[in-house]
Amino acid sequence: MEKVEIKLTAEEVKEKILTGERNFRGATIHGNLDLGGAKIKDSLYLGGATIEGSLYLGGATIEGTLYLRGAMIEDDLYFEGAKIHGNLDLGEATIEGDLDLGEATIEGDLDLERAKIKGNLDLSTKKGPTKIYVNEEMAQLIHWSAPNIPLVVSRKKQ
């Protein structure tokens, strides 16, 4: 079975998300994807996607879980003031720039296990997450960034 490659512009993805589409697993998204202030009434799947720019979710509300497991973000990932009513799954994701969760609300768990963040890390959330899943190599950094949130540390090597 051949793997179908989905290539979309950031504007096409935004339009599809705002009209109800939620699954972009494995897609290549060209440009900066700006979902600032968007109201998404379900979970959003961007796992394995490549975003050839930044992903901006400042002020967005996601009623479910945001899946970015294995995603490649070629610039920054911004969540300032975002509200995620489920989990935020960044496990195995690569973020070439900054990860900014400043003033975000995450009502579920944050999975950073085997994630690679090459820029700055801001975990100064307004509320949550309930737990952070992290690999052993990142545990100390994550603890310094979010000292009051329980860590679940995996012993698996990257």
Q: What is the pLDDT of residues 16-60, one digit of tens each?
A: 999 999 999 999 999 999 999 999 999 999 999 999 999 999 999
Residue 5: pLDDT over 90:
no
Tens digits of per-residue pLDDT, 52-65? 999 999 999 999 99
Residue 86: name the closest of 103, 109, 102, 69 by CA. Answer: 109
CA 21 to each of CA 43, 134, 141: distance values in angstroms, whole numbers, following the listed order: 10, 30, 36
Q: What is the pTM of this model?
A: 0.91
How does residue 6 score in pLDDT terms, banded at 50, 70 and 90? confident
Distance in angstroms (rounded) separating the CA atoms of residues 16 and 23: 10
Residue 1: pLDDT over 50:
no
Please state the rounded mean pLDDT for residues 126-131: 96
**Per-domain boundaries in the chain:** 7-154
Contact 96, 119 (CB under 8 A): yes
How does residue 155 score in pLDDT terms, banded at 50, 70 and 90? confident
